[in-house]
Amino acid sequence: GDVAVLVPAAGSGIRLGPGAPKALRPLAGEPLLVHAVRRIAAAGSVHTIVVAAPAADVAAVAELLAPVAPVTVVPGGAQRQDSVAAALAAVPEGPEIVLVHDAARALVPADLVESVAAAVRSGHDAVIPVLPVVDTIKEVSADEVVQGTVDRSVLRAVQTPQGFRRAVLAAAHAAAVGPLTDDAGLVEKQGVPVVCVPGSEYAMKITRPFDLALAEQLLTVRP
């Protein structure tokens, strides 16, 4: 394998409601992070997995994942971007392709990990999986009055894993100023082209209780 996968898993899951950090909450009896790591490890190109865990849970997460796959666990940071940077710093010499995958996208298919990695391997510096936007999107003012309707055909909903040539991701993080919600955003600011590949509905992000319930149902259809 020539791929390292960074797994930001240090968020608290505020939008999921009160409880443990999101990556440790159960989905069909196992923590979200266990599902995510198992699926990542099933991708044949993956050589290294580095998880950024909540700082208080690093030892527990290492123990939890030991039977699932060989992983390195590091303490995450206050923002997602800090967690990714911490994980990136722990990647050993070797892998020249680095993917970043949210633990919250627990049902990611191994095929999607492979297709993103393959697109980087084929020569793209930065690759993101996307889906078309299905809802009509409107721009509104602060007081919720419609200002206009956006042309949906040029919009994409962005998922993870996002894939990068290692040096490109490292340079983007080194130059990063404000925190962004994805890594491709940092790379865009460096002027590096970011290429889209088809995403997967299974790579949905578990954000709210509805998403967790949906993921439970999806697992009964396709374990």
Q: Is 145 in the site for ligand CTP (CB under 6 A)?
A: no
CB 149 → ligand CTP: shortest distance, Å?
27
Whether the CA torsion 180, 169, 125, 134 is positive or negative: it is negative
- Which range, of 67-75, 99-107, 116-124, 131-139, touches ligand CTP by CB under 6 A? 99-107
Q: Applying CB under 6 A, which part among 100-108, 110-118, 122-130, 187-195 lies near ligand CTP?
A: 100-108
**Does residue 11 bind Mg ion (CB under 5 A)?**
yes
Contact with ligand CTP (CB under 6 A) among 77, 95, 161, 199: 77
User: Least distance (Å) from Mg ion to the CB of residue 6?
Assistant: 16
Confirm or reject binding of residue 54 to Mg ion (CB under 5 A): no
Shortest Å distance, C-beta 13 to ligand CTP: 4
Name the binder of 8 from ligand CTP, Mg ion, none, CB < 5-8 A by kind: ligand CTP
| Contacts to Mg ion by CB under 5 A | 11
